[in-house]
Each structure stands twice: as structure tokens, then as C-alpha cells.
Amino acid sequence: MGGFLLVLFIIICIIAYKTIKIVKQSEVYIIERLGRFHKVADAGLTIIIPFMDQVRSVVSLKQQTMDIPPQDVITSDNVTITIDTVVFYKITDPAKAVYEIQSLKKGIEYLSITTIRDIVGKMELDETFSSRDLINDKLRAILDEATDVWGCKIDRVEIKDITPPADIKDAMEKQMNAERNKRALILEAEGERQSAVTLAEGRKQAAILDAEADRESRIRRAAGEAEAIKQVADAKAKEIQMVYDAINKANPNDKLVQLKSLETLQEVAKGDANKIFIPFEATKALSSLGAISDVVNTSNKPSVKKVAPPKE
């Protein structure tokens, strides 16, 4: 009796194990009944019928990565390069991923290889290095469209590395060095030109400032000289006015007026001005003095008498 119970307990445990399934998070079970697709069991507790239902496959719904082996690709300019690619994908329909293709990973790998060769084969070597984003986008779009019937979505395709042949790589490095040297020389020449322009501009500004300073100095010197001349003229005018006032107070006769005018004219002539305006009265005095001088000179000359020659 004890042995029968033990056997019954073991049979019940086996049936429970076959009946109760616990599906993990981010996974689904493909359940078949009598060899045909029955359902997709989501995460949690799932009950199946023993010996009739069975788990065909466990499918992960996480985003997965596939590292495509490096492939030799010939570009349009007949250069063989090696491209290393990685694909990011996610299963959206587990039933299609199981029943529509024998091996989903192999299908994605082979499709990626042929698509890469088709895309890069239409491009030149230099274009492949500068157009990685374009290659990634084209490759992702083609793979996503092709794998849609397999219940798979291609999220991203990234080219990890593009390796040219050794001789091509060496030539490219030399070209890059030459280009760097060229840019360095251009920048140096541009710096020297800018420096020369700056120095010339500085000399120009200095010359302008010197000219402005000299002009300002000349203007101020001329203004000072004009002011000095004005002050001298004002002083002489005051002196003349004082003499004139003094003469008017003394009620002089014509001879005294002429004499004072000549004295004043003598003081004026001592100034720096090269032009002297002589009053009309002073000219009369000068003419009178000239007449007196002629009389004095004539009286001082010895008289000469004419003697008639003797008659024969």
C-alpha cells in the first residue's frame, strides 16, 4: 500500500510538471497541440494539457544584437575593403519568427551580407568613409522590410569598422598628412598677412594721429600769435588814445599835434607788424618836416658864383 501511494505521488508530480508552466518576463512560449500551433503563452502561469500540448519554442522579446562577421566588399573603384557590422533587432510576432523561417538569425545574417555588398559596391572608397550614416539607414530600411514577414523588426544597423588594404591605408595617411601640412601653411600665411595688415593699420593710425597733433599745434600756435598781435595792437591803440586825450586836454596848436603824432608813429614803428597805417595828419607833419629839411640843406650848401670868362 505504501509503495502504491509513492508511485501515485510521483505520477501526480510528473503530470503537474507537464501541466503547469511558468513563463518568465520578456519571454513567450510557443505551444503546439498534437503537432499544430495552438497559442502563444505570455509571461506568468500557463496550464497545458499533458501529452497533448507541448512547448515548441521559447522566444525572447528583448532587443537582441547580432554581430555580422567582417565581409570583404569591392567598391565601384575596384578597391577591396573589409566591413564589420552589427544589427539590433526585436521579435514582434513570435509565431512568425518560429514558423516562417528555419533560422531567424541565419536569415538576418545572410541578408545583411548581401545588402552590404550591394550598397557599398555602388560607392567609391572615399564615399564609404564619409557616408556611414547613409549606409546604415539604407541597410536598416532594406533589412526591416525583408524581415517583416518573419515577425522581426530591425531597429538599428551600425557599421563598426571599415578597413581598407594596407597600401591604400598608407596612401590615405600620406594624403591626410599632406592635407594637414597644407592647412598649416595656409593658416601660417594667413596669420602673417593679418599681422602685416594690423601693423600697417597701426602705422596708418599713428601717422593720422601725428598729423592731427601737428595740425592742432599749428592752429594753437597761430591762434596764440594772433592773440599776441591783437593784444599789442590793443595796447598801441590805448597809448594813442591816451596821447590823443592828453592833447585834447592841453588844447595844443597844429605844430604840437604834428610833433606828438610823429612821436607816436615812432613807437608804433617799433612793433612786429610789417604794415603801418599813417594818419592823414601825420603825413602833413612829415611833409612840413621835409620842407624844413630842404631849406636847411640849401642854406648849408656853399654859394657858387659864376665868373664870366675874360675877353680876348
Q: How many helices (H) and strands (E) does the chain have?
A: 8, 8
User: CA 177: distance to chain centroid?
Assistant: 25
| 64-164, CATH topology level | Tetrahydropterin Synthase; Chain A (3.30.479)
Instruction: Choose among 268, 250, 249, 247: nearest CA to 258.
Output: 247
Secondary structure (3-state) at 165: coil
Domain ranges in the chain are 12-60, 64-164, 166-221, 235-288
**Weakest mean pLDDT among 207-216, 233-242, 281-290, 294-303:** 294-303
Distances (CA, A) of 227 to 60, 236, 258, 270, 272: 106, 14, 31, 18, 13
pTM score, whole prediction: 0.53
The span from the CA of 83 to the CA of 120, in Å, is: 9
**Weakest mean pLDDT among 61-75, 213-227, 298-312:** 298-312
Q: What is the pLDDT of residue 108?
A: 92
Answer with the residue of higher pLDDT: 303 or 262.
262
pLDDT level of residue 143 (50, 70, 90 thresholds): very high
**Can you read off the three cell numbers belonging to residue 291?**
620842407
Under the phi-then-psi rule, with left for phi > 0, alpha for psi from -120 to 50, and beta for the rest, what region is 222? Answer: alpha
Q: What is the pLDDT of residue 171?
A: 76
Residue pLDDT, tens place only, 225-284: 888 888 877 777 777 777 667 666 666 556 665 666 666 656 655 655 445 555 545 455
Answer with the residue of higher pLDDT: 154 or 291.
154
Q: What is the pLDDT of residue 164?
A: 84
Q: What is the pLDDT of residue 278?
A: 52
Burial of 153 per CB tally in 10 Å (0-12, 13-18, 19+) = middle
Residue pLDDT, tens place only, 29-77: 999 888 888 898 888 888 888 888 888 889 999 999 999 889 888 888 8
Cβ contact 175:97 at 8 Å: no
Answer with the residue of higher pLDDT: 101 or 238.
101
The set of residues, in sequence order, having a beta carbon less than 8 Å from that of 215 and lying 6+ positions away, is: none
Secondary structure (3-state) at 277: coil
Phi, psi of 81 (to 5 degrees): -125, 160
